[in-house]
Amino acid sequence: MGWVPPRPGTDPRALRGLRASFAFAFAGLRYAWKSQRNFRLECIAGGAALGLSLWLGVGLVEVLFLILVVLALELLNTALEAVVDLASPTFHPMAKAAKDTAAAAVLVSSVLSAAIGVVLFVPPLLRRLGLAS
């Protein structure tokens, strides 16, 4: 077996363990950003939605929640893809089921967030553009 990372939860120096946990989590974010085009697109779309919500005065908390749900599921999808590639480098119907179902979770959350986004954004946008009172 190769290098084994330290296990943060078992580090007796609690603060150091916490710092290591954050470092691992940020490494995961970096991996997703570098390897997943969808994650980058979702971050950009999320940034645009945040800017729009500030401009239109739409609730930031609601918008942040919708963005973070999609990003968190995309991160889980990325993690699952890595595990499946490790466990099943060649074609297997269960590997396909796992990857397709994880991708479906991202799709469901994205469609739901987009639908709620339309409900949140369209009325204030129309008012801002003078197309509704």
42 is catalytic: no
Residue 67 vs 75, nearer CB to ligand ATP: 75
Residue 80 within binding range of ligand ATP, rule CB under 6 A: no
Catalytic residue among 74, 75, 117, 121: 74
Residue 38 within binding range of ligand ATP, rule CB under 6 A: yes
Residue 88 within binding range of ligand ATP, rule CB under 6 A: yes
Closest alpha carbon to 24 in 14, 9, 43, 12: 9
Q: Are 32 and 78 in contact (CB under 8 A)?
A: yes
Q: Are 24 and 33 in contact (CB under 8 A)?
A: no
Residue 86 within binding range of ligand ATP, rule CB under 6 A: no
Alpha-carbon dihedral sign for residues 131, 63, 30, 84: negative
| Interface residue list for ligand ATP (CB under 6 A) | 36, 38, 77, 81, 88, 91-92, 95-96, 99-100, 103
